[in-house]
A and B are shown apart, each in its own frame.
Chain A
Amino acid sequence: MSAIAYSAVSFGYPDGPLALDAVDLDVHAGEILLVVGSSGSGKSTLLRAANGLVPHSTGGRFSGDVVAFGRSTRTHKPRELADVVGFVHQDPEAQFVVDRVEADVAFVLENLGLPDEAMRRRVEEVLDALGIAHLRDRNPVTLSGGERQRAAIAGALAAAPGALVLDEPTSQLDPQGAEDVFAAVGRLNADLGTTVLLAEHRLERAAPLADRAVRLDGGRVTVPPAAPGVVMADYPGAPSVTRLGRLLGWDPPPLTVRAARGLAVAMTERPEPSASLNSSVAPAPGDVLLRAEGVGVALDRRPVLHDVDVEIRRGEVVALLGRNGAGKSTLLRILGGLLAPDAGRVDPCPTTAYVPQDPNAMLFAATVRAEVTETLRLLGRPNDAAVDRWLDALGLHDLADRHPRSLSGGQRQRVAIAAVAVGGADVLLLDEPTRGMDADSRHALERAIAHHAREGGAVVLATHDVELAARCATHALVLGDGETVASGSARDVLAGSLFAPQVVRVLPPFLTVEELAGAMERT
C-alpha cells in the first residue's frame, strides 16, 4: 500500500527552470524512504510536494498529482493535510510558534480542534515518544540543536500523521544531536509504524536506518527506489565505509562499520600500509604563523576557554574537534582577532581571515563574483587574479553570475569562504565549514584547503566532521569544556579516539578510502 504517491509530478518555481521533472514515486506505508542527491537536485521540492507546500505556498507551475493517504494535494491545502502528513524543516530555529515546548507541540491539535482529553493524551504520548518530556516547560530557544529538532518533530507528530516528512533534519546539528534525532525517528517508525520520507546529505547514520533509498539528479529520479546499499553503490556522497566496500569489491557494499568489520575479517590479504602512515611525524614544519599561549576567556561570566595553547605553522591544516559548547568557535574568534582573550597571549598575526558558521551573515552582493570582489574593494586593492583563483579553487566559476542567495547552503558556504580568503590571509579560520554541504561542495572545499596549505598558508577548521578532518587535517586539537584534551598529529589523535573515522575502525591504520586506494595501487 502506498502512503504517498507521486505520479508524473513536474514543477518549476516561478521564473525558474523545472525543479522536478516527471517524477513517479511510491512511498510505501510504514517504510523509511531516504532521498539522496546533490544540492539543487530537487530533494527539498520533492519533500515539500508531499503535503502540498509545493505548489500551494510557493506558487509556480505544477503538473501531475501527489496523493497522500487518499487526499490529493491538488484539492487539499497543506493545512488540510496536517493530520496525515507531518513536516519538519532543516532549520530547527524557524519552526516554533509558541514559547513553551509543550504548548508548541499542542499547536497542531488546537488548530485541528481536537477535544481536550484527546489533546492531553496525544501531547503526553508524543513527548514520551521523542524523549523530551523533561523539556516540556522550556522555551525552545534555550534548547540545544538536537533537542530543538526533536521538539519540532514532536510538533509535527502530535496530530498522529501517517507519514512524517523530514527535510535534512540533522544538517544543522552536531553528531550527538543527529544521533538523538535519528534514534527517535527509528523508534517512531518501529513502534508506531509511521512512514518516513527523509532527505539527507550526511548518510553515515541515515543510510543504515532506511528501508529503501532513491536518488534524484536535476529533478529526475535517476536511481529508482531500492535497498540503500544498491543506491549508494555509485553515489559520490555515500558513507566512507560504503566507498571502502566499493573499492574492495564487496557486493553489496556495507552501510555500517559493523557490517564492514564482518567483511574485513574474511579478507585473505590486506593491503600493506606504507611506512609514512605508521610514523606519527608530520611533514617538516614551516615557520610559525600564529601562536597563542595560555589563552583563557569567559563569556557572560561563564568560563569558555582555559589555558589553551595553539601553534600554527605554514603548511598545516589544524582540525579543532570537540562537542558543542567545548569552545571551538570561541577559540577561532580569538585566533581571528575578533575577541580579546581575558588571559594568555596571542601573537598578533595580521593576516588571518575568519569565516563564520552561518554564511548568510555576510552575503549581500548581487552576484557571486561581486561578493568576492567586494572584499578586495574594502581592503583597497583591486586584484582580479585573486578573485578568479579563489572562484576556481572552490569550484565556483560556473556560479559566478548567480545570486548568492539563490544557491544551496553548501554553495553559499563556499562563496563565503572565497569572499574571506580572497583577501590574501595566510591563516584561514573556518567555523564548521561542511554544515549542510553535499558531496560536491565537500570535495571542492577539501581541494581548496589542501591547495592553500601547499602554497604555504595554514588552515584551522572547527568541525564535528571527523571524515573531513581525516581527509585534510595534518594536526588535530580536541577541546573539552574549554580545555585541551588531546593535541598532536591528526593521525594519532583521530585513530585513537572513540569518534574515529569509519575507515580506521574497519581497516586500521588507514584513515581514509583515499589512503587505502593509494596503498592498493602500490602493491
Chain B
Amino acid sequence: MRSATATTRPWHSAAWLAWALAGAATVQLAPSPVYVALMVGIAWLVVEVHAPEGPYRRAFPVLLLLGVAFTVFRIVISGLTAHTGADVLMTLPEATVPRLLGGFTLGGTVEAGVVLQALSQGFALIGMLAVFGAFNAIVSHYELVQSSPRAFHELGVITTVALAFVPSTVESISAVREADRARTGGRSVRRGRILRSMVPVLERGLERAVALSESMDARGFGYQASTRGDLAAGWCGLGALLALAGAFVALVGRARPAAIGLGAIGVGFLVAAVALASGRARDRRRYRHRRMAPADWVMVATAIATPLIVGLCGVSGEGSLVWHTNPLHWPTFSPLVALALVPLLFPLTRTPRPPTAASRAGLEWPEPELLPEPVAGG
C-alpha cells in the first residue's frame, strides 16, 4: 500500500459532473479517432493529477482495457460478417450460416473499409469509457449525494454504499482464489472452482452487507421518516438515472432513436423529480456542506464551452469531426477543433493538496506558490 496521505478535492463534485457530461458530449460530436485520442489523453492527465489513491483510480486503466477488448472483438465480428466488396484486405475461407440462424456469410473477404469503420466506432466507445472512468475515479460519490436535494438523499446513500462494495468484492475474489490454491498445497484444481470461489465471495459480501446495514441503522439512518412526496421524488430520480444511463449506452451503441427516446424519458422523470422535491420546504441537515465556489462555476462554464464550440464547428460544416472510411482516407485533423478541447484541461489549474481548515469548508483554495511542489501522479 502506498503512503496514504489525505488530500482534498480541489473541485466540487458537481463541477466534475459537468466536466464529464461535456466530455461525453464532445466524444459524441467529434468521434474521429484523432480527437478521441486527445480526449483519452486529457482524461488520463486529469486522473493522474486529481484521482485519489484507491480502487476507483485503479479501475480507470481497467475500463480503458475493457474498451480496447470490446473494440477488437467488434473488429473481428464485423470483419467476418460485413461485406462491401471494396478494398479487400484478405480473403478467408467462408461458410454460410443456415438460414434459420440468420443466413449470413462468415469469413470470405475482409475489407479495409469495414475494419476501419469498426475501429473508429470502437474509438468512440473507448473515449466515452475514459471520460466515465475519469469521473468515477476523481469524484467523491458521497459529496454528489450531499449536493442533491433531500428527497434523493437516502436512495443516494444506498447507491454509494452499494458502489463501495464493487472494489471490496474484487479484493475478496483474489483472497478466495488464493485460499483455494492453498487448500491443495499450491496446486490449482479447476474442477468445481467456480462454486468453490463464488460461494465464499457471495457469502462474505452478504455478511458485510448485514453488518453495514446494522451499523447504519444503529447510527440513525432513516430516522427522519421520508414523506410520500420525498419517496415519489426519489423513485422518479432513480428512474431518470436509469433512463439516462440507458440513453448513454444507446449512444455508445450508435442507436440514435433509442438514445433519443430514453433520453426524453429520463429528462421527463428528472423534471418530475425536481418538481416533487422542490415542493418540500424542509431541508436536510448537512455536515459542512460544500457549496459551489465561483471557481467551480468557472470550471463548469469552460467545460461546457468545449462541446458548444465543437458543435458549432459541426454545424458550420467542419469535415474532420467524423471519420468516414468510404472512400478510404486517413482521418483529418483541424487545429481549431483540437483547440476547442483545451478548456477540458482547465481542472489541471489546481492540484490536490494537504487539506486546510479553509479548504475543508470549500471556502478558499490556497495560492499555489505558497505551498510545496505538488506531487503530480501521486
Contact = CB atoms under 8 A, between A and B. Distances in A.
Indicate whether A and B interact: yes
Given A89-B211, A110-B286, A378 B183 contact: yes
B176 A361 contact: yes
Given A111-B224, A138-B4, A156-B218, A425 B185 contact: yes
Nearest to B206: A405
Contact of A141 (B54, B142, B161): B54
A99 B200 contact: no
A420 B355 contact: no
Interface string A106-132: 111111111110011001000000000
B83 interface: no
Interface string B182-193: 111110010110
Contacts of B38: none
Contacts of B183: 353, 362, 375, 378, 419-420, 423
Contact of B287 (A56, A109, A360, A405): A109
Given A114-B285, A123-B287, A137-B355, A80 B223 contact: yes
6 A-B pairs with least C-beta separation = A82-B220, A137-B6, A106-B287, A142-B4, A364-B199, A111-B220
A103 B287 contact: yes
Given A82-B223, A99-B164, A139-B54, A364 B200 contact: yes
A167 B228 CA distance: 36
B281 interface: no
> Which of B4, B164, B179 has the most chain A CB atoms closer than 10 A to its own CB?
B179
A97 B161 contact: yes
Contacts of A86: 218
Contacts of B286: 110
Contacts of B222: 79, 111
Interface of A: 48, 51, 53, 56-57, 77-83, 85-87, 89, 91, 93-95, 97-100, 102-103, 106-116, 119-120, 123, 136-139, 141-143, 152, 155-156, 159, 300, 302, 333, 336-338, 350-356, 358, 360-364, 374-375, 378-379, 405, 419-420, 423, 425
Contacts of A97: 142, 157, 161, 212, 215-216, 219, 221
> Which of A91, A98, A338, A352 has the most chain B CB atoms closer than 10 A to its own CB?
A98
B99 interface: no
Contacts of A139: 4, 6, 52, 54
Given A103-B142, A356-B175, A360-B203, A420 B182 contact: yes
Given A338-B178, A338-B182, A83 B208 contact: no
A112 B220 contact: yes
A89 B191 CA distance: 37
Contacts of B254: none
Nearest to B193: A378
B214 interface: yes
B164 A356 contact: no
Given A91-B208, A137-B6, A362 B213 contact: no
Nearest to A351: B185
A336 B183 CA distance: 10
A87 to B, nearest CB: 4
B140 interface: yes
Contacts, number: 198
Given A109-B287, A111-B224, A119-B287, A57 B217 contact: yes
B358 interface: no
Given A91-B211, A300-B1, A364-B196, A107 B8 contact: no
A107 B179 contact: no
Given A95-B211, A115-B285, A356 B182 contact: yes
Given A362-B200, A419-B183, A423-B184, A94 B208 contact: yes
B220 A378 contact: no
Contacts of B178: 333, 338, 356, 361
Contacts of A53: 214, 217-218
Contact of B218 (A82, A98, A141, A336): A82
Given A99-B141, A156-B219, A93 B208 contact: yes
Nearest to B289: A116
B203 A98 contact: no
Contacts of A113: 223-224, 284-285
B2 interface: yes
Nearest to A115: B285
B212 A350 contact: no
A338 B187 CA distance: 9
Given A94-B208, A103-B142, A156-B219, A338 B186 contact: yes
